[in-house]
């Protein structure tokens, strides 16, 4: 460190002295030119004031040359040239042109006659009926001699300054560099989680204060490094042992972190630093992550990889990172499939004996004249109808849950035609409840007609069942540019805001006693939800207790 300081000191000293030397030459040159300008103007003025046609020049010196030029530019006399007959015409010389315009000026250029830099100045003087020009020329002295004369003193000064600065740097290095070396050695220990404090024992109070501050900073830095190291170890432990796959991507979809579970899911190791497509070419996964990065949003979706199903939760962080967490839901999917199959099979098996029971009950009511038996038979028939309706809804729901959009036998369906068919089929229920059902407008959708029928029937049926006597159910249809809209509204009992988020769940009833009294199965809105999901329709509900309910379904075109 001392050697470097001395070398730097020498370099800086030499540069400063050279700059000073150059500046001195520039200043001297400028001063000399100003002095020469004053001199040439004074001499020209003297000759101009004393000019006569029989002018004679004093014994010329090598410093000053006087030339007389007539109005045409011809040289009449010259102090350094006895025979002027062969000299060039000077009418185009810059100093002559300036004097002719009555604005004399100093001109510096190289003389072709003397072959050196000269300073020229001319004035116009009246002579009889005409005029002449008195021109004075003075050589510009070179500053080389000045530089040579100054070189030796400058070298002496350079050596003296270098010697003083070297001694000063050696002294200062002991004062300043020793504490810095202590700081360097102490900071090295921070990498290992240790920090050896520096003793502030110098003779300078300011340096001692700085060392104390470095001690405090070093201790805090050590604590932060230890905490960061512990945090990283904990994070690594979690990432390496968690059962879910965790991957972190930057905005360009490059993998920043991929835990071992991700490597197992995609069968790719050492994915960090590579593009997302190194993990998988699955279009669902890659497109979802890219959309989150572009829109700076999160997402939840399912996708399949290597015959396993995963639920992927994606979050976009404030630091522009995309975090994807993959949870294996294969067992859940398989269990759900088994439950659906059981649900469908059980519903189907129950329907046959219940239909037979209903038939026998009808025979009993037809053949008996006992009032009590007829009353009980009517109650049995009512409950059987409710159970059979429930089983029908269960079968419809099961069928919807096991149907994909690609498997549907879709065609263009008129919502208006289906809505009017629903109204006719619900006429008896509407009359019983004294509720008016109206249909307005029309729109086309591309779907399976049976699904659209179930959708509208369940919405309209709910509007009738949960309405007041004298109420109204409106089925409004509208064909928009980008969507087909279905709105079913009623002025019935409405739904409390606390229950609105759950009414599309199967078997969920806000008021169980009233639902049973109206004959509802608790599956109607669940069927509506599944139809909407099947065709990607947007389902929304707004309701106010005691004021009615509005359900809107939008099918994208």
In a shared domain, residues 544 and 420: yes
pLDDT value at residue 143: 42
pLDDT value at residue 484: 92
Q: How confident is the model at residue 259 (pLDDT cuts 50, 70, 90)?
A: confident
Lowest mean pLDDT among 197-201, 273-277, 288-292, 430-434: 197-201
Give the integer Cα–Cα distance in Å for 179 and 199: 9
Residue 60 has pLDDT above 60, yes or no: no
User: Which of 309, 328, 347 lies at the terminal end of a domain, its last residue?
Assistant: 328
Best CA proximity match to 132, nearest among 45, 48, 40: 48
**454, 509 in Cβ contact below 8 A?**
no
In a shared domain, residues 269 and 305: yes
Task: Decide which of 208 and 91 is more confident.
Answer: 91
| Coil, helix or strand at residue 139 | strand
Give the integer Cα–Cα distance in Å for 385 and 391: 10
Residue 259 lies in domain: 242-328
In a shared domain, residues 411 and 549: yes
∠70-74-77 over CA atoms, to 5°? 75
Strand 116-127, strand 130-139: pairing: antiparallel
Average confidence (pLDDT) over 221-245:
74
In a shared domain, residues 69 and 123: yes
Q: What is the CATH number of the domain that holds 266?
A: 3.30.450.20
Lowest mean pLDDT among 85-89, 368-372, 392-396, 530-534: 392-396
Within a domain: 500: yes
User: Which of 345, 361, 388 lies at the terminal end of a domain, its last residue?
Assistant: 388
Q: Which of 56-60, 305-309, 352-356 has the highest mean pLDDT?
A: 305-309
pTM of the model: 0.41
What is the tally of structural domains in the chain?
4
In a shared domain, residues 270 and 350: no
The two structure tokens encoding residue 315:
């979050």
Q: pLDDT averaged over the chain?
A: 78
In a shared domain, residues 431 and 546: yes
Lowest mean pLDDT among 10-14, 46-50, 65-69, 241-245: 10-14
Q: How confident is the model at residue 486 (pLDDT cuts 50, 70, 90)?
A: very high
Q: What is the CATH number of the domain that holds 445?
A: 3.30.565.10
User: Which of 278, 304, 328 lies at the terminal end of a domain, its last residue?
Assistant: 328
Within a domain: 211: no
Q: Return the half-sphere exposure (C-beta side, CA atoms, 13 A cut-off) of residue 347.
A: 19
Task: Decide which of 144 and 72 is more confident.
Answer: 72
Average confidence (pLDDT) over 352-368:
79
Best CA proximity match to 453, nearest among 445, 480, 440: 445
pLDDT tens-digit series, residues 24-49: 566 556 666 788 788 888 888 888 88
In a shared domain, residues 118 and 255: no
Within a domain: 262: yes
Best CA proximity match to 440, nearest among 475, 472, 488: 475
Give the integer Cα–Cα distance in Å for 178 and 188: 16
Best CA proximity match to 309, nearest among 295, 292, 323, 326: 326
Within a domain: 375: yes
Within a domain: 29: no
pLDDT value at residue 191: 61
Q: Which of 51-65, 126-140, 357-371, 512-526 has the highest mean pLDDT?
A: 126-140
In a shared domain, residues 420 and 523: yes
In a shared domain, residues 433 and 353: no
Within a domain: 167: no
Within a domain: 250: yes
In a shared domain, residues 431 and 541: yes
In a shared domain, residues 64 and 117: yes
In a shared domain, residues 130 and 70: yes
Within a domain: 213: no
Task: Decide which of 13 and 532 is more confident.
Answer: 532
Lowest mean pLDDT among 50-64, 238-252, 346-360: 50-64
């Amino acid at each position: 460190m001392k050697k470097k300081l001395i070398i730097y000191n020498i370099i800086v000293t030499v540069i400063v002295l050279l700059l000073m030397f150059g500046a001195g030459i520039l200043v001297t040159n400028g001063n000399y030119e100003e002095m020469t300008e004053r001199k040439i103007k004074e001499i020209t003025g003297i000759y101009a004031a004393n000019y006569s046609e029989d002018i004679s020049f004093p014994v010329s010196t090598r410093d000053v040359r006087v030339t007389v030029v007539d109005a045409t530019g011809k040289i009449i006399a010259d102090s350094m040239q006895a025979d002027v007959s062969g000299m060039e015409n000077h009418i185009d010389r810059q100093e002559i042109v300036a004097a002719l315009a009555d604005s004399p000026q100093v001109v510096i250029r190289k003389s072709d006659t003397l072959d050196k830099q000269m300073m020229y100045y001319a004035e116009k003087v009246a002579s009889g009926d005409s005029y002449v020009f008195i021109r004075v020329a003075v050589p510009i002295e070179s500053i080389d001699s000045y530089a040579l004369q100054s070189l030796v003193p400058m070298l002496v000064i350079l050596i003296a300054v270098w010697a003083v600065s070297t001694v000063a740097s050696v002294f200062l290095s002991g004062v300043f560099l020793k504490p810095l070396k202590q700081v360097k050695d102490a900071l090295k220990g921070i990498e290992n989680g240790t920090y050896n404090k520096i003793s502030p024992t110098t003779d300078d109070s300011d340096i001692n204060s700085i060392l104390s501050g470095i001690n405090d900073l070093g201790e805090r830095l050590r604590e932060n490094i230890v905490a960061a190291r512990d945090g990283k170890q904990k994070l690594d432990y979690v990432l390496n042992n968690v059962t879910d796959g965790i991957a972190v991507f930057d905005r360009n979809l490059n993998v920043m972190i991929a835990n071992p579970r991700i490597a197992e899911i995609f069968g790719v190791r050492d994915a960090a630093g590579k593009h997302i497509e190194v993990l998988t070419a699955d279009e669902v996964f890659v497109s979802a992550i890219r959309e989150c990065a572009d829109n700076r949003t999160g997402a939840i979706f399912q996708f399949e990889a290597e015959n396993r199903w995963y639920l992927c939760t994606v979050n976009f962080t404030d630091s522009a990172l995309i975090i994807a967490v993959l949870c294996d839901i294969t067992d859940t999917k398989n269990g759900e499939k088994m439950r659906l199959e059981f649900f469908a099979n059980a519903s189907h098996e129950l329907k046959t004996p219940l239909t037979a029971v209903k038939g026998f009950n009808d025979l009993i009511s037809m053949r008996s004249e006992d009032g009590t038996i007829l009353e009980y038979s009517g109650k049995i028939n009512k409950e059987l109808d409710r159970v059979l309706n429930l089983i029908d809804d269960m079968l419809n729901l099961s069928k919807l849950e096991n149907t994909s959009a690609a498997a549907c036998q879709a065609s263009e369906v008129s919502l208006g035609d289906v809505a009017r068919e629903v109204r006719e089929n619900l006429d008896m229920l509407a009359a019983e409840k004294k509720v008016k059902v109206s249909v307005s407008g029309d729109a086309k959708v591309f779907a399976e007609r049976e699904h659209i029928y179930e959708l509208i029937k369940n919405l309209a049926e709910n509007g009738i069942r949960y309405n007041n006597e004298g109420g109204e159910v409106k089925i409004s249809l509208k064909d928009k540019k980008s969507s087909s809209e279905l709105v079913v509204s009623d002025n019935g009992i409405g739904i409390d805001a606390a229950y609105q988020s759950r009414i599309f769940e199967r078997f969920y009833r806000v008021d169980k006693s009233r639902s049973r009294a109206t004959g509802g199965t608790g599956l109607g809105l669940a069927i509506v939800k599944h139809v909407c999901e099947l065709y990607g329709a947007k389902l929304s509900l707004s309701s106010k207790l005691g004021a009615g309910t509005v359900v809107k379904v939008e099918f994208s075109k």
